[in-house]
């Protein structure tokens, strides 16, 4: 049933960890620690951390601070979450597997726990839809930027691309003219055209532009 060998509950309040008791009752191996510093890190088993929001130090989004650190090591979910004290989308985008709310019944908590142990997300459907649309919009915006960059590069002539490479290497106008066997006046004309096409105001901005896009597109004649 499980993709997780052990559930580690970080339960920083004096009351018993009822969720750990529930998990243990369905055959899941559980460990309860009172504070993050008590954790013994090991790579010998596949762990999942469940962090109680109650009693934990929280960031500005209401997410336990320790969650960000532990996410680099294993899946993380939050429990004993009080509604309206945490931004669910922020937790989802951070990489948290799911949220178990303090006001939910035992059956729903158990269902959520099973789903997350099986490597599924456990969030309200409306939130998942909203987050998906947000990510798609960001991807579309990135694609638009990439398309603009492609169009910009296509406007550059082969000679202009060579001059960008020379400028990036630190060559001055006189050196560029000598290497390409053209006049300095012609070099200046090319550079003015390059500034216009790359929307750069000077050599510094052109260098930044080249550093950004030369890794994606070969600027050669």
Domain boundaries, the chain: 6-123, 156-213
Q: What dotted CATH number matches 6-123?
A: 3.40.50.2300
Helix (H, G, I), strand (E, B) or coil at 25: helix
As a whole number of angstroms, the distance between CA 94 and CA 7 comes to: 20
Q: Supply the pTM of this predicted model.
A: 0.59
Query: What are the start-end ranges of the E strands in the chain?
Result: 6-10, 30-33, 47-52, 76-81, 99-101
186-195 residue pLDDT tens = 999 999 998 9
**Domain 156-213 indexed as CATH 1.20.1280.290:** no
Nearest to 161 by CA among 84, 221, 215: 221
Question: Would you say 23 and 8 are in contact if contact means Cβ atoms under 8 Å apart?
Answer: no
As a whole number of angstroms, the distance between CA 181 and CA 33 comes to: 74
Q: Give the range among 27-31, 42-46, 165-169, 212-216 with minimum mean pLDDT.
A: 212-216
């Amino acid at each position: 049933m499980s993709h997780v060998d052990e559930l580690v509950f970080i339960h920083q309040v004096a009351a018993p960890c009822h969720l750990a008791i529930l998990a243990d009752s369905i055959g899941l191996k559980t460990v309860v620690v009172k504070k993050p510093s008590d954790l013994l890190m090991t790579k010998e088993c596949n762990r999942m951390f469940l962090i109680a929001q109650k009693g934990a130090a929280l960031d500005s989004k209401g997410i336990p601070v320790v969650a960000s650190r532990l996410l680099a090591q294993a899946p993380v979910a939050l429990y004993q979450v009080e509604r309206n004290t945490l931004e669910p989308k922020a937790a989802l985008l951070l990489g948290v597997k799911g949220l178990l709310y303090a006001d939910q019944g035992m059956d729903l908590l158990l269902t959520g726990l099973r789903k997350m142990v099986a490597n599924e997300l456990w969030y309200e459907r409306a939130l998942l839809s909203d987050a998906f649309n947000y990510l798609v919009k960001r991807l579309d915006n990135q694609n638009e930027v990439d398309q603009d960059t492609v169009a910009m590069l296509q406007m550059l002539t082969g000679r202009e691309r060579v001059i960008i490479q020379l400028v990036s290497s630190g060559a001055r106008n006189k050196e560029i003219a000598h290497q390409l066997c053209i006049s300095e006046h012609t070099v200046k004309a090319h550079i003015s055209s390059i500034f216009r096409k790359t929307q750069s105001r000077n050599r510094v901005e052109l260098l930044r532009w080249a550093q950004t896009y030369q890794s994606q597109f070969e600027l050669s004649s």
